[in-house]
């Protein structure tokens, strides 16, 4: 099963990839080879599937989803909900 995830774009790494920050604050790179949308800029949110940017995400919705995921992870770490 493949799962797409939201990432925040930090900047370009050459013409075919971007540096991104995940919900867990990990920094990685994602390929633009499957993306055919408008130019991405630092601060944009994107949906990444198997290392490829597939779509630009609505910033407010992506940030809200990221916050919700972080809260859920924090509550598991703190023993809530287990």
Residue 34: count of CB within 10 angstroms of its CB? 14
Q: pLDDT grade, residue 73 (50/70/90)?
A: confident
Domains and CATH numbers, the chain: 5-77 (2.30.30.140)
Residue 70: count of CB within 10 angstroms of its CB? 13
Single pTM value for the model: 0.82
Q: Within its chain, how far is the Cα of 46 from the centroid?
A: 5
Q: pLDDT grade, residue 81 (50/70/90)?
A: low
């Amino acid at each position: 099963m493949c799962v797409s995830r939201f990432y925040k774009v930090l900047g370009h790494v050459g013409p075919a990839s971007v540096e991104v920050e995940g919900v867990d604050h990990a920094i990685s790179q994602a390929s633009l080879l499957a993306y055919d949308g408008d130019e991405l800029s630092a601060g944009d949110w994107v949906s990444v599937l198997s290392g490829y940017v597939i779509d630009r995400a609505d910033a407010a919705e992506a940030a809200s989803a990221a916050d919700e995921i972080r809260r859920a992870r924090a509550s598991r770490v703190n023993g809530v909900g287990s």
